[in-house]
C-alpha cells in the first residue's frame, strides 16, 4: 500500500515548511531511540473553531479550520505483539501488549489511552493489528482547546492501520468515506476510553481539513463543504489564556446532559424532534417557559449558535462572489457573528471564564480586529480572532501587556495558517 495514498491533501507553503520541520525532528528522535529509521510518519493537525461551539454533540453545525500545528508519530512495524511508545513532549514511555489491553493497564499513562482505544476498537472490528515502535511529538498546545487529543487519536488510528497494512479502498470517493469512518472511530475512543462525550467535529476537521478553507460540517449527517476563506489581508490569531481547563471535561458532560434534558421536555410539544438542531428559535420561544431556567439558557444558546453558523457560512459564500470593494463589509458581518457567539457562550452556556473574557475585551479594543471569541470547550484555553495584518503588531503588544498586567499570566499568541488535514509520509 502506498503510505501517503490514504490522505493526500497539500497545504500552503508555510504550513508545509512547518510540517516538514517537525517531521524531520521526530524522525531523528526515532533513529536516536530505536537505532533505525521509521517506516513512515503520520502527521495530524490541531484545529480552531471559528464559529459553532458546543453544537456538534447536539447534531448541529460547526465551522472549524485545521491549523498548522501537528501531532506527529514516527512508526516502524514490529514482528511481535508489543507496542513501544515514547511521548517526547511529556518525556514518558510505555510498553503495551496488543493481547492485554483490557482492562487498561494500571501503569499506562493517560496519553496512551488514545492509542489503547484505537487499537482496541480496530481489533474488536476484526482487524489484525501489528505491534509497532513509535515516537510521538508535536506542537499542538496541550490543554489549550486546540484539539491535541483529536490530533493524537487521528494520528494513532492512521499509524495502526498503515503499520498493519490493512486493506483500504483508496480511490478518491472511498477515501473521503474512509476519513469519516476514522473520525467516528476516534470519537468512540474519546467516549469509551477517555470519558469525554465529545462531538465529532475535532476528529473530522483533523482528517478533512483543506488549506485556506473552513469546513462547514453538519454533525448529524456528516455532510460537509469546504468553504474558501479568502481572508486576504486578514489572518487568524489564537491567544492562549494559559489557564488549565480543569473544569472542561466535567462541565462539558453536564452541558450535554442539560441539552438532552431540554429535548426530552420539548418533545411533549414538538414530538418530531430528536435534538436541539431540529428546533427553530420561533418554536423554542413558544415553549421555552416550560423548561427549567438553566435548561432554557443552555438550549437557547445552542439554537441561536446553529443559526449563527448558517449565517456565517452564507456570508462567506456571498463574500466570495462579491466585487472587491464589498468584501470587507461581509467579513465584518462574519466578525460580528463571532462576537455574538462569545456573548452566548459567556452568558447563556456559561463555559467562558474571566481570563477568556478579558482576552476578548483586549482584542476588540484593537483597531483591525473584526471578531473575537473563545474557542473550544471553555473554562480556559484559547480565544480566536480575525485580525488585519497591519494590526498584528499592535494586537500582539496590547494582548501580551494588558493580559499579563491584569492576570500576572504571560499569554501565548499563535498566528496560524489554515492547513490541510492528516497525512502519511513514507520515509
Annotation marks residue 390 as catalytic:
no
Compute the distance between CA of residue 269 and CA of residue 134 in angstroms, rounded to an integer.
54
Q: Is 323 left (phi over 0), alpha (psi -120 to 50) or beta?
A: beta
- Edge-to-edge order in the sheet of strand 382-388: 369-375, 382-388, 234-240, 412-416
Which residue among 56, 59, 68, 202 is the active-site one? Answer: 202
User: What stretch of H or E contains 205?
Assistant: helix 201-208
Peptide bond into 103 cis (omega under 30): yes
DSSP structural state of residue 45: E
**Contacts for 293 with CB less than 8 Å, ≥ 6 apart:** none
What phi-psi label fits residue 423: left (phi over 0), alpha (psi between -120 and 50 degrees) or beta? beta
Contact 309, 55 (CB under 8 A): yes
Q: Roughly how many angstroms between the first and final C-alpha of the chain, as a whole number? A: 14
* Cβ pair 66, 45 in contact under 8 A: yes
Contact indicator for 159, 190 with CB cutoff of 8 Å = no
Task: State the catalytic residues.
Answer: 202
Amino acid at each position: 500500500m502506498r503510505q501517503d495514498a490514504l490522505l493526500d491533501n497539500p497545504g500552503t507553503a508555510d504550513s508545509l515548511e512547518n510540517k516538514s520541520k517537525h517531521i524531520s525532528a521526530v524522525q531523528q528522535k526515532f533513529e536516536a531511540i530505536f537505532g533505525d529509521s521509521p517506516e513512515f510518519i503520520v502527521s495530524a493537525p490541531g484545529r480552531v473553531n471559528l464559529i459553532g461551539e458546543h453544537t456538534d454533540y447536539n447534531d448541529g453545525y460547526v465551522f472549524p479550520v485545521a491549523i498548522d500545528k501537528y501531532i506527529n508519530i514516527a512508526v516502524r512495524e514490529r514482528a511481535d505483539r508489543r507496542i513501544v511508545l515514547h511521548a517526547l513532549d511529556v518525556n514518558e514511555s510505555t510498553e503495551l501488549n496488543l493481547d492485554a489491553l483490557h482492562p487498561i493497564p494500571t501503569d499506562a499513562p493517560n496519553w496512551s489511552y488514545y492509542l489503547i482505544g484505537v487499537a482496541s476498537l480496530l481489533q474488536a472490528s476484526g482487524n489484525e493489528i501489528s505491534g509497532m515502535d513509535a515516537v510521538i511529538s508535536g506542537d499542538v498546545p496541550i490543554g489549550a482547546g486546540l484539539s491535541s487529543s483529536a490530533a493524537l487519536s487521528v494520528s494513532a488510528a492512521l499509524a495502526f492501520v498503515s503499520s498493519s497494512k490493512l486493506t483500504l479502498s483508496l480511490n478518491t470517493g472511498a477515501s473521503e468515506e474512509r476519513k469519516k469512518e476514522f473520525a467516528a472511530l476516534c470519537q468512540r475512543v474519546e467516549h469509551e476510553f477517555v470519558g469525554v462525550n465529545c462531538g465529532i467535529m475535532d476528529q473530522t476537521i483533523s482528517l478533512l481539513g483543506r488549506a485556506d478553507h473552513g469546513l462547514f460540517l453538519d454533525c448529524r449527517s456528516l455532510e460537509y463543504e469546504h468553504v474558501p476563506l479568502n481572508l486576504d489581508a486578514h489572518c487568524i490569531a489564537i491567544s492562549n489564556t494559559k489557564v488549565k481547563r480543569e473544569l472542561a471535561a466535567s462541565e462539558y458532560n453536564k452541558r450535554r446532559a442539560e441539552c438532552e434534558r431540554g429535548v426530552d421536555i420539548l418533545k411533549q410539544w414538538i414530538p418530531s424532534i430528536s435534538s436541539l438542531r431540529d428546533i427553530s428559535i420561533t418554536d423554542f420561544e413558544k415553549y421555552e417557559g416550560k423548561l427549567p431556567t438553566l435548561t432554557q439558557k443552555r438550549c437557547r444558546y445552542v439554537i441561536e449558535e446553529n443559526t449563527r453558523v448558517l449565517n456565517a457560512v452564507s456570508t462567506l459564500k456571498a463574500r466570495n462572489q462579491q466585487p472587491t470593494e464589498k468584501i470587507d463589509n461581509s467579513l465584518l458581518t462574519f466578525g460580528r457573528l463571532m462576537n455574538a457567539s462569545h456573548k452566548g457562550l459567556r452568558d447563556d452556556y456559561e463555559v467562558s471564564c474571566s481570563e477568556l473574557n478579558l482576552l476578548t475585551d483586549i482584542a476588540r479594543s484593537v483597531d483591525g480586529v473584526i471578531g473575537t471569541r473563545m474557542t473550544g470547550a471553555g473554562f480556559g484555553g484559547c480565544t480566536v480572532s480575525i485580525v488585519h495584518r497591519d494590526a498584528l503588531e499592535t494586537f500582539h503588544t496590547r494582548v501580551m501587556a494588558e493580559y499579563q498586567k491584569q492576570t500576572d499570566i504571560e499569554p501565548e499568541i499563535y498566528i496560524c495558517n489554515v492547513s490541510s488535514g492528516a497525512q502519511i509520509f513514507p520515509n
